[in-house]
Amino acid sequence: MQRVLTNQLSAQIGGAVRLAGRIQHRRELSRLVFVVLRDAAGLAQIVVEDEATTAQVAELLPETVVEVDGQAVAAQQAPGGAEVHAPTFRVLALPAAAPPIELRRPELKEQLPTLLDYAPVALRHPRKRAAFQIAAASLAGYRAGLDAHGFTEIQTPKIVASATESGANVFELDYFGRPAFLAQSPQFYKQIMVGVFERVYEVGPVFRAEPHDTPRHLAEYVSLDAELGFIGDYRDVMRFARDAVAGMAEGARARAAEAVELLGVELPDVPEEVPAVDFTEAQELIERDTGKEVVGEPDLAPAHERWLGEWARREHGSDFVFVTGFPMVKRPFYTHPDPERPEVSNSFDLIFRGLELITGGQRLHRYEDYVAALAARGQSIEAYDGYLQAFRYGMPPHGGFAIGLERWVARLTGASNIRETTLFPRDLNRLSP
Amino acid sequence: MQRVLTNQLSAQIGGAVRLAGRIQHRRELSRLVFVVLRDAAGLAQIVVEDEATTAQVAELLPETVVEVDGQAVAAQQAPGGAEVHAPTFRVLALPAAAPPIELRRPELKEQLPTLLDYAPVALRHPRKRAAFQIAAASLAGYRAGLDAHGFTEIQTPKIVASATESGANVFELDYFGRPAFLAQSPQFYKQIMVGVFERVYEVGPVFRAEPHDTPRHLAEYVSLDAELGFIGDYRDVMRFARDAVAGMAEGARARAAEAVELLGVELPDVPEEVPAVDFTEAQELIERDTGKEVVGEPDLAPAHERWLGEWARREHGSDFVFVTGFPMVKRPFYTHPDPERPEVSNSFDLIFRGLELITGGQRLHRYEDYVAALAARGQSIEAYDGYLQAFRYGMPPHGGFAIGLERWVARLTGASNIRETTLFPRDLNRLSP
């Protein structure tokens, strides 16, 4: 007999059926036992009445992997409106011990460090699983959104010869006896590849040796990068960033509907025109409202991002707001300045529900601008030789952006710690599982 | 005016048109100049007749980035059957020097080391580009093939606490003052995630500190991994591996048709039933044919894979052949043995046109089997604590496989060195660009 998944059980009512999965828990009543089986699709209730089977399942630890043959019967109370009667159980794998996480609870009660220590088990919980189904669906939507605009997917090296963003926060490794580094972003390579394909994206790990233990930083995370050429300026980049996020929301809606419902996620509407506010203007708004002196600071603090998130919701009915016109001083050397105001950058952040989700902007594209920018920072051009080739031999005006996948899912699911939306987080203190 | 790509030029015949791209080269005839423009879609011919424009373009280095306005005119000889007349050129970016690679040639003549040293430029060549368009399309097809079977995409950490495959060939890094390693494969994590989603795949970089400089090994490559639970045995895994490859071929066919044509790639038909040959039987066939003693060797040599590739084509009309029943001795500790012949593994290779493309198989799933397998190799179970949790708390019978993206593209395009199908290869001697 062909196995069916638990969410197909109700379509089998009246017939013989085979399920497979894990025994999540057992409820013993006076004359029968309910066994709850969990598989990839969800839960099913199995009703045991005969003595031999009751004795058999009484021996089985939670998470025992079984195959169950029985009759599919309508049952209003059961998940999906169907349950299995007259079951026979075949054990496929016996656990060596009872699980350290109480997976039977509708919501897990363990603290985050425990859940992370036992991630291989905790992730089996339907609510844990759901966050990563939303991540996978969002990723598919991201790709679909950019594929539709003629982007080409690329894979670029994670072992690199020089730090990408700055010398700080970079992991060093031993590369056949030479020092090498883990890429902090695919920034240089995606720019180079604009010279090849004009529009590119990459989904891959990036590495930051973050010395701070915060709820929003990881030492390794999944970056959704895009870069495109032949732009007017950063505003063209903002339009594609908007479309990428809209694709992600649509991906979650279309491909992870059950997970979205289970977690009660409210998917955002991404406005065709996302509201945008100038950096200094934003600081003035914040200062006027909070009475705190912020104008003149070179960057936004997390509290300011939260304030702007609320402001965008209140004033524009939008979950999203672009901040533009960041000072050059805090932006990396490849950032293109505003031609009219050289101390202001042609870059932007996209704030989603009060958290920076995207950073992007226009990049320098002239070789001599790179030479000057590196000289101004006291850096040698030799260290950037491969990267600078792209500009030395001609590059169109271009720009791009990067989205942190874990942050996106955290904002959607309301997770307060980015570690909740990372399968196996890496941070200052955590290297396993 | 809205820019059009060169492959849309013929649809604009009779009208005004704007192109943008690079000046690939110039051909000066007695009374006119042909300028060949390259963009993301291909090439276009621009005919310059007036004196001022002739003088302007004479100054421009190859790879100058320009916007061109003109008239689209039918022209049988030109690429796509159309060319641009009466052009005006606007320079978007001037290169600082002429490119070190002769991009105007239909096929690049430079040696591989030169092409790799100047990859940011060499990759702009349409034939170079095409290989990576095929890679991107194959990847999309891989995902589509597995999505259709209910697989969930995952991202797992690349910084890990212990070596995956063995202690050899692993890169070590400094992780906040502690030693850590770069993942040689997502093997442990994809198995753990079978306990969560039952069917998973991951596309990501893997890292091997290969001390050998060969045409088929890289220190970093893109691995297409999949793993699935509730299998009977390795033969179920082979079916999904077959479907994954069929998806990749279909992806290339559907999404990279122009690149496939440009390179003259013959996409393989993937038979519904890929021929399979037992390892020992394969050795006997090779020994009988070549007269060389191979029976008893623990693995297949590259020459044997080539022989089997030819044999499969000759005997079965197939570009693919599975080899099954490899000796346990050369397989990693998590490999499931054949229950009837414990010295033989339930694993397989898939050979594509004479090169190992996929390795896969059934894995151990019982906790006690892992404890025994590690003990037999003299390894402590403590080092594998996070991984072993999955089995300690119950795992279904499962298996999976891994495909090297670069090898796939190399086989398709006939590249003799894997570095030709890697954007920015990493090997014993090469760390940049």
The dihedral through the CA atoms of B87, B88, B93, B95 has a sign that is: positive
Distance set, CA A151 to CA A206, A229, A337, A396 (Å): 21, 11, 26, 16
Tell me the average pLDDT across B182-202: 97
Distance set, CA A285 to CA A282, A308, A392 (Å): 5, 9, 42
Q: How many CB atoms lie within 10 A of CB B330?
A: 13
Q: How far apart are CA A364 and CA B49, in angstroms?
A: 34
- Candidates B222, B405, B433; nearest CB to A389: B433
pLDDT tens column, A374-416: 999 898 888 899 999 999 999 999 999 999 999 999 999 999 9
Any CB–CB contact under 8 A between A433 and chain B? Answer: yes
Task: Tell me the pLDDT band of A164, cut-offs 50, 70 and 90.
Answer: low
Two tokens, residue A62: 């939670």
Residue B150 in this model has a pLDDT that exceeds 80: yes
Task: Tell me the pLDDT band of A322, cut-offs 50, 70 and 90.
Answer: very high
**pLDDT computed for residue B163 by the predictor:** 72
Distance set, CA A260 to CA A37, A143, A282, B371 (Å): 22, 20, 33, 39
Mutate to test the interface with B, among A210, A393, A408 (most CBs of B within 10 A): A393
- Contact by Cβ (8 Å): B141, B250: yes
Residue A167 in this model has a pLDDT that exceeds 80: no
Of A116, A115, A82, A89, the closest CA to residue A22 belongs to A89
Q: Which residues of B touch A157 (CB under 8 A)?
A: 205, 220, 423-424, 426
Three-class SS string for chain B? CCECCHHHHHHHCCCEEEEEEEEEEEEECCCCEEEEEECCCCEEEEEECCHHHHHHHHCCCCCCEEEEEEEEEECCCCHHHEEEEEEEEEEEECCCCCCCCCCCCCCCCCCHHHHHHCHHHHCCCHHHHHHHHHHHHHHHHHHHHHHCCCCEECCCCCEECCCCCCCCCCCEEEECCEEEEECCCCHHHHHHHHHHHCEEEEEEEEECCCCCCCCCCCCEEEEEEEEEECCCCHHHHHHHHHHHHHHHHHHHHHHCHHHHHHCCCCCCCCCCCCCEEEHHHHHHHHHHHHCCCCCCCCCCCHHHHHHHHHHHHHHHCCCEEEEECCEHHHCCCCECEECCEEEEECEEEEEECCEEEEEEEEECCCHHHHHHHHHHCCCCCHHHHHHHHHHHCCCCCEEEEEEEHHHHHHHHHCCCCHHHHCCCCCECCECCC
Any CB–CB contact under 8 A between A112 and chain B? Answer: no
A372: helix, strand or coil: helix
- Candidates A94, A95, A428; nearest CB to B176: A428
- Candidates A65, A154, A175; nearest CB to B431: A175
CB contact (8 A) between residue A121 and residue B393: yes
Any CB–CB contact under 8 A between B211 and chain A? Answer: yes
Two tokens, residue B170: 């692993």
Any CB–CB contact under 8 A between B113 and chain A? Answer: no
Residue B271 in this model has a pLDDT that exceeds 80: yes
- Minimum mean pLDDT range among A391-395, B74-78, B226-230, B381-385: B381-385
- Candidates B175, B367, B433; nearest CB to A386: B433
Q: What is the DSSP string of A272-305?
A: SS--EEEHHHHHHHHHHHH----TT-SS--HHHH
- Candidates B176, B394, B433; nearest CB to A95: B394
Tell me the average pLDDT across B300-326: 97
**pLDDT computed for residue A210 by the predictor:** 87
Q: Which residues of B touch A64 (CB under 8 A)?
A: 394
Q: How far apart are CA B323 and CA B405, in angstroms?
A: 20
Amino acid B21 reads G
CB contact (8 A) between residue B424 and residue A211: no
Of B106, B84, B394, the closest CA to residue B229 belongs to B394
A66: helix, strand or coil: strand
Q: How far apart are CA A27 and CA A88, in angstroms?
A: 17
**pLDDT computed for residue A166 by the predictor:** 62
Mutate to test the interface with B, among A143, A155, A207, A212 (most CBs of B within 10 A): A155
**pLDDT computed for residue B101 by the predictor:** 96
Interface confidence, given as ipTM, is 0.96
A99: helix, strand or coil: coil
Any CB–CB contact under 8 A between A367 and chain B? Answer: yes
Residue for token pair 């008239």: B71
Q: How far apart are CA A282 and CA B364, in angstroms?
A: 58
CB contact (8 A) between residue A386 and residue B158: no
Residue B165 in this model has a pLDDT that exceeds 90: no
Any CB–CB contact under 8 A between B103 and chain A? Answer: no
CB contact (8 A) between residue A159 and residue B147: no
Which residues neighbour A362 within 8 Å (Cβ) at sequence distance 6 or greater? Answer: A231, A233, A234, A237, A335, A336, A346, A347, A397, A398, A399
CB contact (8 A) between residue A396 and residue B92: yes
Residue for token pair 């396993």: A432
Task: Tell me the pLDDT band of A212, cut-offs 50, 70 and 90.
Answer: confident
CB contact (8 A) between residue B195 and residue A153: no
Indicate the pTM of the whole model: 0.97
Any CB–CB contact under 8 A between B366 and chain A? Answer: yes
What integer best gives the mean pLDDT of chain A? 96
Q: Give the containing element (helix H, strand E) for A351.
A: strand A347-352
- Contact by Cβ (8 Å): A151, A243: no
Q: Which residue of A has its CA nearest to B232?
A: A92
DSSP-assigned letter for residue A73: E
**pLDDT computed for residue A165 by the predictor:** 61
CB contact (8 A) between residue A178 and residue B431: yes
Any CB–CB contact under 8 A between A96 and chain B? Answer: yes
- Candidates B95, B192, B368; nearest CB to A393: B95
> A239 to chain B nearest CA, in Å?
16
Residue A243 in this model has a pLDDT that exceeds 90: yes
Task: Tell me the pLDDT band of B168, cut-offs 50, 70 and 90.
Answer: confident
The dihedral through the CA atoms of B279, B280, B285, B290 has a sign that is: positive
Residue A78 in this model has a pLDDT that exceeds 70: yes
- Contact by Cβ (8 Å): A418, A385: no
How many CB pairs (< 8 A) connect A and B? 269
Any CB–CB contact under 8 A between A114 and chain B? Answer: no
Residue for token pair 């708390």: B393
Q: How many CB atoms lie within 10 A of CB B345?
A: 24
* Angle at CA of residue B329, ends B323 and B334, nearest 5°: 85
Residue B383 in this model has a pLDDT that exceeds 90: no
Expressed in angstroms, the distance from the first to the final Cα of chain A is 37
- Candidates B172, B203, B433; nearest CB to A387: B433
Q: Which residues of A touch B179 (CB under 8 A)?
A: none
**Is B109 exposed, middle or buried (CB count within 10 Å of its CB: 0-12, 13-18, 19+)?**
exposed
Sort strands B337-338 and B355-363 into parallel, antiparallel or unpaired.
unpaired
Tell me the average pLDDT across A23-37: 95
Q: How far apart are CA B368 and CA A397, in angstroms?
A: 60
Any CB–CB contact under 8 A between A184 and chain B? Answer: no
CB contact (8 A) between residue A432 and residue B385: yes
Tell me the average pLDDT across B22-44: 95
What integer best gives the mean pLDDT of chain B? 96
Residue B230 in this model has a pLDDT that exceeds 80: yes
Any CB–CB contact under 8 A between A3 and chain B? Answer: yes
- Contact by Cβ (8 Å): B62, B23: yes
Two tokens, residue B351: 């050979």
**pLDDT computed for residue B166 by the predictor:** 62
Q: What is the CA radius of gyration of chain B?
A: 26
Task: Tell me the pLDDT band of B164, cut-offs 50, 70 and 90.
Answer: low
Q: Which residues of A touch B191 (CB under 8 A)?
A: none
Domains of chain B (ranges; CATH) run 6-93 (2.40.50.140), 120-421 (3.30.930.10)
Percent of chain A with pLDDT over 70: 99
Q: How far apart are CA B67 and CA B19, in angstroms?
A: 6
In this structure, the dihedral spanned by the alpha carbons of residues A225, A226, A227 and A233, taken in order and rounded to 10 degrees, is -110
Which residues neighbour B288 within 8 Å (Cβ) at sequence distance 6 or greater? Answer: none
